[in-house]
Structure 1
Amino acid sequence: MKIAFFVNAFPMMSEAFIVNSAAALIDEGHSVDIFGVGNVAPSGLSVNAVEGHNLDCRTVNMQWPKSTVGRLANLPIPLSRIARNHGFAAIGRLRPDIYRRSLGDLTAVYQASAFKGSGEYDILHCQFATLAECVIKHRKAGFLKGNIVVNFRGYDITEAVAAIGPDVYDHVWPEASGFVANCEYFRKRAIAIGCPDDRIEMIGSGIRLENFPFEPAGRRETDTIRFLMVGRLIERKGMHIALRALAEFTNRSGSKIAVDIVGDGVMRPQLEALASELGLADQVTFHGARTHSEIADFIRISDIFLAPSMTSSSGGQDAPVNTLKEAMAIGRPVVGTYHGGIPELVIEGETGALAAEGDSASLCAAIDRLITTRASWPDMVQRGREKVENMFALDKCTNDLIRHYETCLS
């Protein structure tokens, strides 16, 4: 199959699943091109580039001036590219009845100038549902051809719906051949706002398990309990709740703790101040953004991985986050929350412990519950590894995706 991925930009540090999926499809004999249509700069790879796949040569990141004046001043450039790639008459395809506001702000012109030849693919995979609108328009105008598949991953099925309304994707339902959600929770949310239930499947974001071999922690010589949190430092990740829970845990139990926080974001100053306010300044270390291999190293030196995700004030929610999968794959006990897709992976008492989202007392109790059952950790982490293998092994997710593509083509 000839497949096109549509993303905001490629590669992005937080989107290793795009790299993994593209490389795995190529390994299965398919062709993959990647189009970054979001007018943002790529932030780089958080995983080592897969040898032999030449993903950089298969990628076009579309960027254009941010200002209206700049877009107008540079307009001859994309128009000449369209004429060169498709013939002068193709400029007439940029019709107001197709593109509407994206023609008014010239976004459509700059995007269309990046498509070469017939633009014909078997599958046009919108990796985020918010990108489906522009792909539909370019297909209607004849710059792209193929069956559209739309992915729901988080922001697109939570915050976008909260901000715009449940009818935000009404124009997408009849245009796409298939839909994918990366957890069952998001699949049900999509159906609830109108997605045809016979055309959407739950297919997880696969991880390369060979990069996260199962290495359960041995007995440690120190009595300090080392906790790890990984993710963007934003409200939805709930790290401010976790810091309060950890402060309560140390005050109640008297346990010595060390906390590693890997990631960066707008809440870093607030979190640093909170750690100091709670008397945890000497126990908490902020490491900033790190690569996947470095994150794996942090997991290996940790005792417990925390995934305290919560619904943000703007309605944002998470699927089972990739770093949670990775921690369970390596063999670390985990504490998650009853939030989004996390309970599909973390099963209370079986593969980890769960707390109410946004509730520091409940999270403290879950941490305490996990630690008091330390004798059961070997069985728990083994079940956690098996859960990740069954749900998120890259070869399984890739085969599921290929079958979904084939269904769309038929």
Structure 2
Amino acid sequence: MPARVLVLAPTRRARTETFVRANLARLPFAVEACFGDEVPWCEPLKALYGLAVLTSKVCTRLGWLRLATCPTSLVALLLVCRHRPDVVMVEFGFHAVRVMELARTGVPLAVHFRGADASADRYVKHLEQRYRRLFQLTSAVIVKNQTMRSRLIALGAQPAQLVISPSGADEQRFQGATPASMPPRFLAVGRFVAKKGPMDTLEAFASLLGLSDHAEACRLVMVGDGPLLPEVRERARQLGLEQMVQFPGVLAPDAVVKEMRRARVFVQHSRTAEDGDEEGCPVSVMEAQLCGLPVVATRHGGIPDVVVDQQTGWLVGEGDRRAMAEAMAVLADRPDLAGAWGAAGQRRAQARFTVAHHVDQITTLLNGLVDHRR
């Protein structure tokens, strides 16, 4: 009989949380999931959970951090009594502090940190004492990269608790790119927020046009939306790039794959935002490498774990638009190099950075917690 796992997460509906849904779909357990933004009246306990999360958010906004833990932890305790899980996994550290007292039941608690929850000031500084309490109660902590691991150890997590596991890319979907045969078309996929550096990517592309022998053929496609989209779109207009830069908005995964198959290079200028927000291990970068694209990106977060500089792509410093432009220019003029790096990146991603690898790691971890409890 498979182990029973109760998953608690803040949301299922956000477009960017595809990795959470991938976990739920592939975990080989009897999974029961509750989401903080859902109130299904046909399931009273889950509805109560959604209301408790709303109450917790209000308490947090008012600065009543200890009180914010009470309502959601209480309902989580009821969920544990109802479903009798062998282990509980909570998505995102900021959500885990809402329910952490359920660990008093003796059921192992695993917490999955993703990125901003382990870097942004609004979480790390605001919830520092709550995080310290959380790490006293958790049995395991999943993180995305070594930097995140070190930061959580400084906040009280025990090294033995921590497991580094990138979310991985969908190996069943992301494949088929042939960059060597494609025109110099650059692709960026991600939210238009500070840590994704969309303005840096645009400015680098603009500089590329003065460096490449094939400038007239170069194009940039920036997929996604977010608060910085109007500003980036306006800057493209100011630079006279309306015919060379496309903003198709948010695309479905299959449409993203089609864009990757039309591209020569994937680009992402991730950087630390003013509030400290950092990437974990960007899924879009893993998707691009798995598909067979070379990647031009920054030495940020978990990106250097995925992209090997001068072997599967080109890494530059955060904020170094000129270096990014030069890297893009080389690949615009060298389709053979783009093809070689893309193929090398694909082989490496297939061996290390798929959703299957991530799910296997999580499965092994949760099974270990269940066996230890038994």
More helix by share: 2
Q: Take 1:65 and 1:139, find their aligned partners in 2: how far apart are those partners?
A: 17
Contact 2:144 2:165 (8 Å CA) reproduced: yes
Q: Take 2:66 and 2:53, find their aligned partners in 1: how far apart are those partners?
A: 19
Superposition deviation, residue 274 in structure 1: 0.8
**2:89 maps to 1:130:** no
Corresponding letter in the other structure for 2:225: D
* Residue in 1 that maps onto 2:14: 12
TM-score normalised by length of structure 1: 0.78
* Residue in 2 that maps onto 1:237: 196
Q: Which moved more, 1:344-353 or 1:13-22?
A: 13-22
* Residue in 2 that maps onto 1:303: 264
Cα distance change of structure 1 residues 67 and 3 upon mapping to structure 2, 3 Å threshold = closer
Contact 2:175 2:257 (8 Å CA) reproduced: no
Give 1:11-410 correspondences, 5 Å limit. 11-25=13-27, 28=28, 30-37=29-36, 39=37, 60=46, 62-64=49-51, 100-103=67-70, 111=75, 115=79, 117-140=81-104, 146-159=107-120, 160-164=122-126, 167-217=129-179, 219-220=181-182, 225-253=184-212, 255-256=215-216, 257-409=218-370, 410=372
The one-character-per-residue Cα deviations of 1:217-257 (angstroms, maximum 9, x if unpaired) are: 3524xxx5211111111111101011111111113336122
Q: Take 1:297 and 1:67, find their aligned partners in 2: how far apart are those partners?
A: 39
Structure 1: gaps spanning 5 or more residues: 43-56, 72-97
Q: Which has the larger Rg?
A: 1
Q: Take 2:68 and 2:95, find their aligned partners in 1: how far apart are those partners?
A: 15
Superposition deviation, residue 116 in structure 1: 7.5
Contact 2:224 2:250 (8 Å CA) reproduced: yes
Secondary structure of residue in 2 paired with 1:150? strand
Secondary structure of residue in 1 paired with 2:181? coil
The one-character-per-residue Cα deviations of 1:34-81 (angstroms, maximum 9, x if unpaired) are: 1112x4799xxxxxxxxxxxxxx9x9575449998xx9xxxxxxxxxx
Corresponding letter in the other structure for 2:195: R
Cα distance change of structure 1 residues 350 and 167 upon mapping to structure 2, 3 Å threshold = farther
Superposition deviation, residue 216 in structure 1: 2.2
Q: Take 1:406 and 1:361, find their aligned partners in 2: how far apart are those partners?
A: 48
Corresponding letter in the other structure for 2:33: I
Corresponding letter in the other structure for 1:282: Q
The one-character-per-residue Cα deviations of 1:272-313 (angstroms, maximum 9, x if unpaired) are: 111111221221111111111111111111111111111111
Q: Take 2:330 and 2:177, find their aligned partners in 1: how far apart are those partners?
A: 23
Contact 2:293 2:346 (8 Å CA) reproduced: no
Superposition deviation, residue 184 in structure 1: 2.8
Aligned CA-pair RMSD: 2.9
Cα distance change of structure 1 residues 65 and 100 upon mapping to structure 2, 3 Å threshold = closer
Secondary structure of residue in 1 paired with 2:363? helix
Contact 2:168 2:286 (8 Å CA) reproduced: no
Q: Take 1:185 and 1:201, find their aligned partners in 2: how far apart are those partners?
A: 12
Q: Take 2:30 and 2:8, find their aligned partners in 1: how far apart are those partners?
A: 14
Contact 2:68 2:98 (8 Å CA) reproduced: no
Q: Which has the higher contact order (CA 8 A, sep 6+)?
A: 2
TM-score normalised by length of structure 2: 0.85
Cα distance change of structure 1 residues 287 and 131 upon mapping to structure 2, 3 Å threshold = same
Contact 2:331 2:337 (8 Å CA) reproduced: no
Q: Take 1:116 and 1:192, find their aligned partners in 2: how far apart are those partners?
A: 30
Q: Take 1:177 and 1:279, find their aligned partners in 2: how far apart are those partners?
A: 55
Q: Take 1:378 and 1:351, find their aligned partners in 2: how far apart are those partners?
A: 10
Q: Which moved more, 1:188-197 or 1:157-166?
A: 157-166
Secondary structure of residue in 2 paired with 1:367? helix
Cα distance change of structure 1 residues 236 and 278 upon mapping to structure 2, 3 Å threshold = same
Q: Take 2:235 and 2:96, find their aligned partners in 1: how far apart are those partners?
A: 40
Q: Which moved more, 1:247-256 or 1:264-273?
A: 247-256
Q: How many residues align?
A: 355
Secondary structure of residue in 2 paired with 1:404? helix
Contact 1:10 1:34 (8 Å CA) reproduced: no
Q: Take 1:165 and 1:343, find their aligned partners in 2: how far apart are those partners?
A: 28
Cα distance change of structure 1 residues 166 and 116 upon mapping to structure 2, 3 Å threshold = closer
Structure 2: gaps spanning 5 or more residues: 59-64
Contact 2:39 2:51 (8 Å CA) reproduced: no
Superposition deviation, residue 108 in structure 1: 6.2
Superposition deviation, residue 338 in structure 1: 0.8
Corresponding letter in the other structure for 1:298: E
Contact 2:201 2:269 (8 Å CA) reproduced: yes
Superposition deviation, residue 192 in structure 1: 3.0
Superposition deviation, residue 120 in structure 1: 2.1
* Residue in 2 that maps onto 1:45: none
